[in-house]
Every structure is written in structure tokens, then in C-alpha cells.
Amino acid sequence: MNAGYTFHWVSPLGPITLAGEGNVLTGLWFDGQKYFGEHLGPAGELPVFRETVQWLEVYFSGHDPGPTPPILLRGTAFQMAVWEQLRAVPYGETTTYGAIARAIAAQRGLETMSAQAVGSAVGRNPVSILVPCHRVVGANGALTGYAGGLDKKAALLRLEGRAFA
């Protein structure tokens, strides 16, 4: 598998590393976050990096940037199902791990699905912000888990008009 290229950008919340191959984004992490990308390629220039930075600049200005640049996600079938659920959560809204678990259980014809398993897959999302794992909260609406840190999760939700400490 080609590791592609990386690009570093400094966001209002700290440095971010982007990874991409060809015309698709394959990773976006706050530097040093849990589950940071492995086997990343060398620094390089790809059009998707410019497109992603433009998207992020609109996002960090407090506006809905609209459709994301092209993304290629790689993971298990379960992770992919969870990440697709994340992509369906609209800007400025939140969901819960339990709601995602129920949706996937329904898709698979199961009675139940583990919210903890969903949480594990959410935490391994390789394209932070664009695949909005920060929009997942606990059953009681509390901030829980975020590979980039709860301070960043709260800041991202505040950008989207959600009131979290």
C-alpha cells in the first residue's frame, strides 16, 4: 500500500497532519493525538491538501464548510459502518454512541450492538473533523472520549454552536 504524502497545517486548535494519496484525503489528525497515523509518507503537495485546508479555514471561522473534500477511509467493515454513521451527523448537531449502535444493529438485523464497540471505532477514525467523531457524546449528553483531547472536542462543538464547557 502506498503511504502517499503528508502535509502539516497549524489550526486555531494546534498543529494538524494531513495524509493523502492521489486525489483523496486518507488521514487528518491533531499532532500527537491517540491513534495518530502510522507509516505516513513524506511531506508533499497534493491538490486535496489545498482543498482540505480551504475547507478547514471555513470550518474554523465558525461556518458550515459544506461537502468535504474527497476522502478514502480504510478500516474493518464495522469501523467503516461506524464512520459512515459519523458522516451523516449534520454540522452543529450531535449523536450518541448508543444511537449509532442502534442504527448499525438495525442495518445488520441485530437486536443490539455494543455502544462500547462503537466508541472504539469512533476513536480510531482516521480523518478527524471531516468525519465528525467530535459530534458523538455520551448518553446523557456529556462530553466523552476524543482521541484529540476533550478540550479540542469541546472547542469544535462550540465552533458549531453547541454549548459545552
Catalytic status, residue 133: yes
Residue whose C-alpha cell reads 476522502 in the numeric block: 71
CA angle 164, 126, 1 (to 5 degrees): 175
Contact status, residue 137 vs residue 94, Cβ threshold 8 Å: yes
Cell numbers given for 22? 492521489
What is the DSSP secondary-structure string of 95-111? EEHHHHHHHHHHHHT-S
Closest CA to 81 of 130, 25, 122, 112: 122
Catalytic residue among 73, 133, 136, 157: 133
> What is the residue type of 120?
S
Active site residues: 133
